């Protein structure tokens, strides 16, 4: 069990995904909710969508369809 816990902790550290999201386990300890960690994760994912993924999708769309309007925006729902 200790080896599995160490491997899980290493995986969480390497991926930067919160423990609660990656492994589906509740946070432990007194007054531990994990809310701030999860909110920080959602903020990180949203920034990656806007700054990394959206420009690539727009570029691919313009290459596939040269008639794509210049003011096209990507909105992630």
Residues of the chain with pLDDT under 50: none
Burial of 13 (0-12, 13-18, 19+ CB in 10 A): exposed
pTM comes to 0.59
Per DSSP, the three-state class of 13 is helix
Residue 32: count of CB within 10 angstroms of its CB:
11
Per DSSP, the three-state class of 61 is helix
pLDDT of residue 60: 94
pLDDT of residue 57: 94
pLDDT of residue 9: 87
Q: Where are the beta strands (DSSP E) in 1-77?
A: none
pLDDT of residue 33: 65
């Amino acid at each position: 069990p200790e080896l599995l816990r160490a491997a899980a902790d290493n995986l969480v550290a390497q991926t930067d995904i919160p423990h609660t999201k990656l492994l589906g386990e509740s946070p432990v300890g007194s007054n531990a909710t994990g809310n701030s960690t999860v909110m920080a994760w959602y903020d990180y994912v949203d920034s990656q969508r806007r700054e990394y993924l959206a420009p690539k999708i727009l570029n691919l769309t313009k290459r596939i369809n040269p008639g794509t309007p210049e003011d096209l925006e990507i909105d992630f729902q």
